[in-house]
Chain A
Amino acid sequence: MGSKQTTLRKSLKGENIGLKARIDHADQQYKDTGHIFGLKYLEVLEEDPIKFDKFQTRLIAAVSAARETSKHVSGSPAGVGMGELLHLLALPEGEVVASSFGLTGHVMSFPLIVRHMAETGLEENPGFRDGDIWGTNDPLAGGPHQSDCYTYVPIFYDGELIAWAAGVNHIADTGHSICPGGVPAHSPTTYCDGFTYGPMKIGEDLIEYKWFERMWMRRTRTGTLNVLDEKMRLTGAIMLRGRVMELVNEFGLEYFKRATREILERERRAIERRVRTQMVPGEFRQSLFRPIRQKGMMGHLYREADKDWIVHMNETITIEPSSFINIDCDGSTTQDYFWANGHRGGILLGMGWHTMAVLVQSPLVNTSLLRMLDVKGPPGSIINPTRTDVSTCAPNVVGTMLSLLPNHVFGWSYFMRGFLEESYLCEYVYSVIGSGGVLKNGIPWGMTDFGYVGSSPRGPSPWRDGEAAMVGSGNPEADFGEAEEWEFVEPPLTSLSRKLIPDMCSHGKHRGSIGTSAAHLISDPGQFLTMNTMGISGTDMLGCSVGVCGGYPMLNGYVLYLHDTNAFELLEQGETLPTDFVEAWRMIDSGKLKVGSMEVYGNESPVTQLKHGDLVFQGLQASSAWGEPLDREFDLIKSDIERGWMTPETARKVYGAVVEVAANGACKVDADASAKARLELRNRRKTRAVPAKEFWARERAKVVAKDFSHVDVANMYQDTLRYEKWHREFYEFWQLSEDYKI
């Protein structure tokens, strides 16, 4: 221990305090002054702004070069094709000063990892030394989920710890005991979560320990790819370390220290200014629901997890007078034996990468957002899990779902203040397919298909429709639809289509994006094949509770497994196969497509066995709409029909638009008939609706009688009403006495 202590003192020379003390000190400075590191004045910036920008640009170039070069070290499609990779430079305290593009949200979770290391005494044992390599993927230590693996090296300059260089990427398979791939839909306990490690030292003198390579080979289904990914992360981190040394030599150590800290405070001020000058402060209530069904599935093996839930994610989002954004999740579901436990690294990751697209909008990705926004939930809830036995496999999913709601609020708030150009509904609705099995030759395999991660719809604005397959706010460098590349590593899955699904959208004045389809034909799967899916959009209950300004909320995702089909016979006869679930249903109904059995799910499908000739259809990414459908302009409706995105039947039924389609496809709106149809729809509202007071009295009677339509709904209330603020809101709204219990 004695020599380690010496190393520690030496490593933090100049400060003569440990990492923990440094972090506490920085927190205190922020608390006391409202400025990161207490920086009231940005001295080196003001002294020479051009030099400052040059310095910052060089940092960004360094992290970008690390990423762009190292990704070619890996052979994994996640790294190369999707660019599911990020390199970042952090201060000793963990604050990220510069990051490449890629999985930008990680700038929010890496500081937690450094804090975890400080809090658990790792600076004393084994200590940090020049040339060390560290790694972790543990959500209890700040990581977002087991799939996201960090490799990082301390950067010492003249014996002093001055920064961390880190690489992180999403690996193909984590060795989860139930679901192949890396984003499991079902995980009853953390002991099923797959290979979980660190934070720990995984090498020294910039060489990884041999045993760590063996761990990847031994504990995951895609050992070779994961070893290559490990080398990729490390390569970038070492490159970055070298560049930083050069920069310190060029600019001087004192400049490096001061300028990196001023970067953070400058960016924090930019966010503060943006909120203050472009948004409307106030309190915004939002929530969303997600059913999780494990009853009958976990059976004798995991009795404690053999349950169904309606998971409640409840949010009160306050834009405070200080410009700080406070997200209070009181009333959310309690931690349990399911995937929906939102450990902090995952929550901040989700909040970070999506919110950044709406609030920061800058190539200067860093941690300053962490000082302008917080997400809180009562201990023991899914927002703040306290038990160590619950699964940690998907906090990133919880975080991403939670982030939809503040992003709605920000879009809404820009609109209220008059900055309509900035206003849109940012909804990152990814889904992943996990698959695995054993090939004919006995080789086991597993894989995560990211085809639906690299692209997301852009939600609508007050002035335009949502658009499909536009952005990947979680991974701005991704390319959509790497179908060919994925086929290479998923031998039995033949990709049939990537396309838009007509009529699959949330309706409104500006409709949500049209949903997209992925379709697969199972071909020669070998000894066995399983598939599972997991995603962000709604399951059976829509994607969020509140539609914006009278538009309908985000649609449910959809997964359709068709077993024992005549697909290959149809192909032999020269027939075409369906390219989305709507076409599949039509062909089933007409009798052309023969199906032995079928399974239908929302976003998350359990591990499903598939055979030669089975078909799988996914549909999702239909974002929320903006505004009242009857305000939609006829020209927009006409254009949707002309493009094949909407049928005339839907235009008539939802929008009251009477559109005639000529044989050559040309469309014409019948203005008189449409005006009449709209009037009818409006009048129908009048005959159906009741004054809110009447509705309240009727529904209150049901609440009092505990008549909640379904036992899962009653269970959701019974669980969540233990939380104080939500309890008060519910009891006050329905005017219940305190002896009322569900």
Chain B
Amino acid sequence: MSEQTNEGISKNKLKLLVEGKLPLDDIHALLRMPVKDADRFWKYLEVLQERVTWKEKILVRISEHLYVVEKGQERIVKCDCGHEFGDYRINWKLSSLVYARTSTEEFDEIFTTQNKPNPEIVEVREFYCPTCLAQLGVEAVPAGYPFLFEVLPDIDTLYEWEGKPLKSANKDWFQNKTATLTAKWAKEAGK
């Protein structure tokens, strides 16, 4: 019944869980915990921070490879390889490399049975990190569809929920600023 204490998971076990190496029995024990460990988020940040080579403080993980980190006065999206995508309030996809599959031949490379999408009505966009070329996101959308801004975390509320508000907390942090970049691009193009 040791898993019923509030101590929860050790940092070492959490590291194994993050790496996908924690035995299933241990994971089931975690699932059975009636009360989760209260410091999980902080342990998680420690584990994540130790996995990257750069020094900026991770505020929150937003996907397998991407983190929102604190850099000076800024909060930016950073890849585990070190690539920086800029202000996290602007959809990071706008700073990635994009490849859109638009033909049956291109679909054949990734859809491996007959039930493939129809390239007349849908394209499959892949978003890569410009530095490490990891596939960070995939969209299956019709032509002309705006990039979906998958995650805009409300970081200040998160830290408030954790009982340790950030010093830099400010209402302005939780807003979507993607349009500022597209407006800039349109202006540059002389629209």
Q: Measuring CB to CB, which residues of chain A are less than 8 angstroms from any residue of chain B?
A: 276-278, 280-287, 289, 291, 310, 319, 321, 412, 415-422, 462-464, 501, 503-505, 507, 509, 515, 538, 540-542, 544-547, 549-553, 555-558, 581-582, 585, 602, 619, 622, 626-631, 633, 647, 650, 653-654, 682-683, 685-686, 688-693, 695-697, 699, 702-703, 707-710, 712-713, 716-717, 729-730, 732-735
Residues of B within 8 A of A713 (CB): 121, 142-144
Most buried by B among A544, A631, A695, A710: A695
| Given A286-B148, A629-B135, A713-B143, A689:B115 Cβ within 8 A | no
Of the candidates A463, A504, A733, the one whose C-beta lies within 8 Å of that of B179 is: A733
A276 to B154, CA, bound (A): 12
Residues of A within 8 A of B115 (CB): 504, 515, 555-558, 581, 602, 619, 622
Contact B128 A689 (CB under 8 A): yes
The distance from the CB of B91 to the nearest CB of chain A, in whole angstroms, is: 9
| Given A692-B98, A730-B146, A733-B147, A283:B176 Cβ within 8 A | yes
Residues of A within 8 A of B43 (CB): 418
The distance from the CB of A637 to the nearest CB of chain B, in whole angstroms, is: 13
Interface residue? B105 (CB, 8 A): no
Chain B, Cβ-Cβ closest to A619: B115
The distance from the CB of B191 to the nearest CB of chain A, in whole angstroms, is: 6
Contact B140 A550 (CB under 8 A): no
A274 to B40, CA, bound (A): 13
Interface residue? B82 (CB, 8 A): no
Contact A417 B138 (CB under 8 A): no
Chain B, Cβ-Cβ closest to A628: B135
Contact B64 A509 (CB under 8 A): yes
Of the candidates A420, A730, A733, the one whose C-beta lies within 8 Å of that of B17 is: A420
Residues of A within 8 A of B144 (CB): 699, 702-703, 708-709, 713, 717, 734
A647 to B114, CA, bound (A): 15
Contact B98 A558 (CB under 8 A): no
Which 6 pairs of residues, A with B, have the shortest CB-CB distance?
A418-B44, A547-B138, A733-B146, A735-B186, A689-B97, A558-B115
Residues of A within 8 A of B151 (CB): 282-284, 412, 416
Interface residue? B172 (CB, 8 A): no
Interface residue? B166 (CB, 8 A): no
Residues of A within 8 A of B123 (CB): 709
A436 to B125, CA, bound (A): 42
A556 to B114, CA, bound (A): 10
Contact A421 B64 (CB under 8 A): no
Interface residue? B158 (CB, 8 A): yes
Interface residue? B54 (CB, 8 A): no
Most buried by A among B112, B117, B160: B112
A412 to B148, CA, bound (A): 15
Interface residue? B126 (CB, 8 A): yes
Of the candidates A415, A647, A709, the one whose C-beta lies within 8 Å of that of B120 is: A709
From 24 to 77 in chain B, residues with beta carbon under 8 angstroms from any chain A beta carbon are 27, 30-31, 36, 38, 40-41, 43-45, 60-65
Residues of A within 8 A of B65 (CB): 549-550, 628
A712 to B153, CA, bound (A): 34
| Given A558-B114, A732-B182, A546:B150 Cβ within 8 A | yes
Residues of A within 8 A of B111 (CB): 552, 555
Residues of A within 8 A of B114 (CB): 558, 581-582, 585
The distance from the CB of A496 to the nearest CB of chain B, in whole angstroms, is: 18
Residues of A within 8 A of B94 (CB): 692-693, 696
The distance from the CB of B60 to the nearest CB of chain A, in whole angstroms, is: 6
Chain A, Cβ-Cβ closest to B21: A463
Can you name 27 A-B residue pairings with CB atoms under 8 Å? A280-B154, A281-B158, A281-B161, A287-B148, A310-B142, A412-B151, A418-B43, A419-B40, A422-B31, A463-B20, A503-B113, A504-B115, A509-B64, A540-B121, A541-B118, A542-B140, A546-B150, A552-B111, A553-B140, A558-B114, A581-B113, A630-B135, A683-B133, A685-B133, A685-B135, A692-B127, A709-B102
Residues of B within 8 A of A287 (CB): 141, 148
- Supply 8 further A-B pairs (C-beta < 8 A) apart from A283-B174, A505-B112: A282-B174, A515-B115, A542-B122, A550-B64, A556-B116, A585-B114, A692-B147, A696-B182
Contact A691 B97 (CB under 8 A): yes
Residues of A within 8 A of B81 (CB): none
Chain B, Cβ-Cβ closest to A538: B117
Chain B, Cβ-Cβ closest to A709: B143
Contact B112 A693 (CB under 8 A): no
| Given A280-B60, A696-B185, A690:B149 Cβ within 8 A | no
| Given A546-B148, A550-B63, A321:B157 Cβ within 8 A | yes
The distance from the CB of B47 to the nearest CB of chain A, in whole angstroms, is: 8
Residues of B within 8 A of A650 (CB): 112
Contact B130 A310 (CB under 8 A): no
Chain B, Cβ-Cβ closest to A278: B36
Of the candidates A552, A557, A730, the one whose C-beta lies within 8 Å of that of B138 is: A552
Contact A709 B142 (CB under 8 A): yes
Residues of A within 8 A of B44 (CB): 417-418
A692 to B183, CA, bound (A): 14
Contact B143 A692 (CB under 8 A): no
The distance from the CB of A580 to the nearest CB of chain B, in whole angstroms, is: 9
The distance from the CB of A507 to the nearest CB of chain B, in whole angstroms, is: 6
| Given A552-B138, A619-B115, A419:B100 Cβ within 8 A | no
Interface residue? B18 (CB, 8 A): yes
| Given A285-B150, A628-B64, A550:B97 Cβ within 8 A | no
The distance from the CB of B123 to the nearest CB of chain A, in whole angstroms, is: 8
Residues of B within 8 A of A503 (CB): 112-113
Chain B, Cβ-Cβ closest to A633: B20
Residues of B within 8 A of A581 (CB): 113-115
Interface residue? B189 (CB, 8 A): yes
Residues of A within 8 A of B161 (CB): 276-277, 281
The distance from the CB of B178 to the nearest CB of chain A, in whole angstroms, is: 7
Of the candidates A282, A417, A463, A501, the one whose C-beta lies within 8 Å of that of B22 is: A463
A282 to B146, CA, bound (A): 20
Contact B154 A282 (CB under 8 A): yes
Residues of A within 8 A of B63 (CB): 549-550
| Given A277-B161, A732-B182, A285:B128 Cβ within 8 A | no
